[in-house]
Amino acid sequence: MRVKTLGDLVITDLIDVQGAGGVRLEANGSIEQSDSGRIHTSFLETASSKGQLLTGENRISVLKAVNGNGDLSFTNMTDLVVEALQNGEGQINLLVLAGGLKVTRLQAAGGLLTIKADRLELEKLVHDGASGLFLDVTGSSREMAEDVLIKGTSPTGLHFTRLTTDFGVIQGETERLGFDHLRIGTYAEIENSLNNVIIDNLNRKYYETDLQLSVPTKAFYLMLNPGSEIKTNGFIIRYNAARISNDLGKTVLETTGDMQVQASLSTPKPGESDAVQKTPETDYLITGIENVLGGQETEVEQDADEEEEAEEEETGEEEEAEAQDVDEEGEAEGQSAEVKEEAEAQDADEEEEAEAQDADEEEEAEAQETDEEGEAEEQDTEEEVEAEEQNAEVEHEAKVQE
């Protein structure tokens, strides 16, 4: 089925064409759908010069679209394959409400490319315009896509305003590849023509890559610039200092000692998202630990905070225990001193009593000895007197006999 007009084409009803051939829509102006317009076919080809707005409840298997300038938007209810899509200056919006999107070739002169699909495989993205090309890539049934693969080329650079996916591979044949809001659930590989980066939030292993990051719970920014200049506020696991330099060719990374992961990494749930601050215009190069964390708190920081709190709590408990020990020791020393004083006082009393008793006994012994000596002297005197009296009597009797 073919529909062609010299002006604008507006689809107000259902176009249902099954089988070979499909549907071809051509307009010198624009192609649009009303709220009730729908297209159900296996193959749809469109061509316009001033824009396409096909956002109804479309069920297309394969799409091929060409537009001159202006916006191009397409919505599909199920899995979609885009064989080729070419657009001049303007926005491109591709929405797959349920399922995956596979794009063989997408060519754009510039503007914003917004893709919402749970799975995305963009095999060849060609940016051929003078103005910049910006990309916003997320899931559709939830914000975080399951898997994203994008291979692109650009003479001026590719810039992602947002990329949110569980697994991702981004390969850019350009010296400028930037991400304002990068949210990786599990694993991603990102490379431009100068450097490559691996983000692994699950496995604790080292990769042979220019820069290895781990940011499991936050969105962050990453800029791969000419001269192998890299800017990021993601947590650095490992890097190749010889491959990361500023525009003067000097190595801007110095040591990995403070940049190693010290704790296990967890995998965030798909769909989690946190806003990331706008990339500062005068952001530092990656020079060391001052820019490793970049204000984004990671699980390692949380573990460090918890460890610090635990150490403070342990220190407090130790100080309290020491204070309690000091108090108990003081009480014990006080009790010991009291016991010692009581024992010394008791010993002094007993010593005084013993000395008094010894003195009394000594006095009694001396008195008894004195009495005994007096009695002995009296007895000796009496005996002497008695002996003298006997001698006198003997002498008297002798004289009488004479």
> In this predicted structure, which of 145-154, 290-299, 317-326 has the lowest mean pLDDT?
290-299
Amino acid at 261: V
Token representation of residue 331: 């009480």
Residue 134 has pLDDT above 60, yes or no: yes
Residue 112 pLDDT greater than 90, yes or no: yes
* Closest residue by Cα to residue 72 from 35, 12, 27: 27
Q: Which of 69, 24, 67 has the alpha carbon at shortest distance from 42? A: 24
- Residue 228: predicted pLDDT: 85
Give the C-alpha separation, 373 to 301, whole Å. 104
pLDDT in tens, 211-226: 999 999 899 999 998 8
pLDDT category of residue 68 using cuts at 50, 70 and 90? very high
Question: Which has more pLDDT, 285 or 246?
Answer: 246
Where are the chain's structural domains?
2-296, 298-402
Please give the share of the chain, as a percent, with pLDDT higher than 70. 65
SS3 387: helix
pLDDT in tens, 42-63: 999 999 999 999 999 999 999 9
The DSSP output letter for 245 is B
Q: What percent of the chain has pLDDT over 90?
A: 48
- Alpha-carbon distance of 45 to 67, in angstroms, equals 11
The residue with greater pLDDT, 342 or 77, is 77
pLDDT of 171 above 70: yes
3-state secondary structure of 101: strand
pLDDT of residue 54: 95
Report in angstroms the alpha-carbon separations of 142 from 98, 116, 138, 166: 10, 9, 8, 11
Of residues 69 and 307, more confidently modeled: 69
Q: Which of 140, 135, 91 lies closest to 119 in space, CA to CA?
A: 140
Q: Is 264 exposed, middle or buried (0-12, 13-18, 19+ CB in 10 A)?
A: exposed
Lowest mean pLDDT among 108-112, 175-179, 285-289, 387-391: 285-289
Q: Retrieve residue 144's tokens.
A: 């975080």
Structure tokens belonging to residue 341: 């004083």
